[in-house]
Amino acid sequence: MAVKNVLRKVVGWIAPAPSKSEDGRDQWPSRAAFLLASMGGCAGMGNLLRYPSQVYNNHGLQWYIPYLMCVFLIAIPVLVLEIAIGQAYRGGSVVAFNSMNRRLKGVGLSLLYVGFVVGPYFVVILSWIMNYFRNSFISPLPWTGRGEEFYNQDVVANIEPIPGSLTEDGSRVLSYTKYPGVALVGETVGWTAFTWFLVWLCIFRGVGLTGRVVYFTMGLPIVMTFVLIGRAVSLENAGAGIKLYFAQWNGEKLANGQIWQTACGQVFFSTGVGFGYFTSYASYNTKHSNAVMDSILIVTSNVLFENIAAFAVFGVVGFLRLFPEDGTRLGSFTVGFLTLPLAITEMPGANFWAFALFFTLMVLGYSSAFAMLDAVVTLVMDTGIKWPRAVVVTVLTVISFLLSLPYCTQFGYYLLDGIDRWINDVALVFVVFSECVSSTTVYRWKDVVGQVGRPAFIVYNAGYFGGMVLGVVLAHTVSPLLVLESALDFCRRTRYFHRHRQDPDAETPNLFKRNVYLRRIYYTAFYSPLLRYIAGPILAIVFGFSYPAFYKLRYDPLHILGFAVGHIALIIVAFGFIVPAGTMFLSPSSWRRQDPIRSRSLVRVRGFFQQQRRGWDGKWR
């Protein structure tokens, strides 16, 4: 009995039950725990691998112009939205968006869909890193002098496909790519199972345990990254690589649309918006946490980390004398599994540096992996299910492991490439676009209609959405002049309805008080300008690039599959908007019946907003 009590105390100390907030919801042990968990969701392998490769391929200081614009114009505003709705509505992304408007339930569900699809193949990449980590204890390192062979044959172990082809003019498919290898790769399966077990271990108990785990998953990689930086910048000729990073200017690259698309994609994917876990994490915050300050801290810490960590790669680039002028390009996998490991073999104490590199990548990846699964766990728990959290986590972990198995096959690398590309280029871009436009169009739309009238609201938004759709389509098919003409036509129609709609009677900011026309403009156009007119159109443009790219790869069955998987997110958003009653089991009503304390809290929040919208005379403002 005494031993049992001691074990119970030890488990309680290692994995404590989460504390409760006033409304009965689990709560983070501290604000620092929330920030570290959110930063861990941001900071991952992409910071140490993907970011340096993107900067390298667009080398020069000019990279920071589109990069920083995307940070401040897209990442921070969208993150403020995701954190704020999680805190306000005390639920994950589905509950939060449903509470904003019942037709936005699909938007919240699509965010979780993206994370649930990415998680299984993300863990397989971690299993490849674990393979390297195991081999880092062998001297000499097994990839010495055979880096590409070791990666392709010993780690990934995929059989080369038989490539397909298009006709010379690209109008039709001559033959489809064939993949002769279908067997499972044993070691990859084993490491994948082990990795999912560690993910389960980090989240099965709730935020009480996760709040302690993140101190390790964030603190240790930062220390190890600085150790790697110190070694990299001390290598012979490291200064040449650092000069490539910070001391060159190639202004002509800004005229190329690729650098803008690449910078937007990097910021978008490295910050982690669009995966749903920020809203889930924020729902465990105290009600009055500063969402704006938290968002700024999370994004800026991610920017600082990836820009400082890049010194470790660029020191190695100078050491290996890999320069873009020679036609060399780097990919994320190239940096992590070829460039850095080969450089390590030429360093004194190679085994220690191999251990440090792959241990850092491994721990960085875990925080992102369990963040994506935890968002889905939050959704299931918010439905009011009677199962204990540990059971829910176990079931979802097993399902995720089974979904990982196709990536552990002898065609798994190519499947990963096909799914990853179109989940990022199609699904992820579209769901964040949906966040931006739905939160500024559908949320409290009746207030706007009450001020300007339904016809003006409909036509203005038809012009807003139609302009983006038509502009992107025409940009890919006809001349820019027609795009401009179509945009002007929408503006003329919108202006007509500005003149013929009812006058607002509510207060507006001082800038719009000068006349009735400006007050009309405010309510239909500038209710939330940054998300609506900056982030939304930018994402629409980026989304438009995916279709011409797919047209060139339509001979590959795995890219066709990835393209279809990416479009499921669009179907989820559309279905939730058109048939909001089709997913009633995900509505807040289900957990309001289970938790009356939380229900009363939500009623008070809604009552507060209603009071803000009423004047002292009780009329709507």
Confidence tier at 597 by pLDDT (50, 70, 90): very low
> Is residue 484 in some structural domain?
yes
Residue 601 sits at the vertex; the CA angle it makes with 597 and 603, to the nearest 5 degrees, is 115
Residues 147 and 200 in one domain: yes
Asked if 401 and 195 count as a contact pair (C-beta separation under 8 A), the reply is: no
Residue 69 sits at the vertex; the CA angle it makes with 248 and 36, to the nearest 5 degrees, is 100
Q: Which of 579, 556, 209, 600 is nearest to 417 (CA)?
A: 556
Residues 323 and 461 in one domain: no
What counts of helices (H) and strands (E) characterise the chain?
31, 4
pLDDT tens digit sequence for 409-431? 999 999 999 998 898 888 888 99
> Is residue 543 in some structural domain?
no
> Is residue 540 in some structural domain?
no
Q: CA-to-CA distance for 57 and 326, rounded, in angstroms?
A: 12
Overall domain count for the chain: 3
- What SS3 class is residue 558? helix
> Is residue 548 in some structural domain?
no
Q: CA-to-CA distance for 117 and 52, rounded, in angstroms?
A: 25
For the range 5-14, what are the long-range contacts, defined as Cβ-Cβ under 8 Å and sequence gap of 24 or more?
Answer: 14/209, 14/212
581 is written with which tokens?
A: 């009653």
> Is residue 6 in some structural domain?
no
Q: Which residues of 119-139 are buried (b: 16+ CB within 10 A; e: fewer)?
A: bbbbbbbbbbbbbbbebbeee
Name the more confident of 19 and 184: 184
The whole-chain average pLDDT of the chain stands at 78
Check whether 79 has a pLDDT greater than 80. Answer: yes
Q: Which CATH number goes with the domain that contains 244?
A: 1.20.1740
Q: Which of 404, 373, 425 is nearest to 190 (CA)?
A: 404
- What is the predicted pLDDT for the residue at 221? 77
Residues 64 and 131 in one domain: yes
Residues 478 and 591 in one domain: no
What is the pairing mode between strands 173-175 and 26-27? unpaired
Residues 340 and 412 in one domain: yes
Name the more confident of 209 and 164: 164
Residues 313 and 282 in one domain: yes
Average pLDDT over residues 63-91: 87
Q: Where are the beta strands (DSSP E) in 244-343?
A: none
Confidence tier at 507 by pLDDT (50, 70, 90): low
> Is residue 545 in some structural domain?
no
Residues 431 and 455 in one domain: no
Residues 359 and 400 in one domain: yes
Asked if 311 and 232 count as a contact pair (C-beta separation under 8 A), the reply is: yes
% of the chain beyond a pLDDT of 90: 19
Q: CA-to-CA distance for 225 and 360, rounded, in angstroms?
A: 7
Residues 100 and 214 in one domain: yes
What's the DSSP call for residue 170? S
Residues 315 and 195 in one domain: yes
Residues 79 and 100 in one domain: yes
> Is residue 502 in some structural domain?
yes
What's the DSSP call for residue 178? B
Residues 84 and 56 in one domain: yes
Amino acid code (one letter) for 170: G
pLDDT tens digit sequence for 231-247? 888 888 888 888 888 77
Q: CA-to-CA distance for 102 and 109, rounded, in angstroms?
A: 12
CA 167 vs CA 136, 173, 526, 546: distances in Å: 46, 6, 49, 21
- What is the predicted pLDDT for the residue at 592? 40
**Residue 592's domain spans which residues?**
587-621
Asked if 319 and 236 count as a contact pair (C-beta separation under 8 A), the reply is: yes
User: How much of the chain is in helix, strand and coil states, percent to nearest 5?
Assistant: 75, 0, 20
> Is residue 272 in some structural domain?
yes
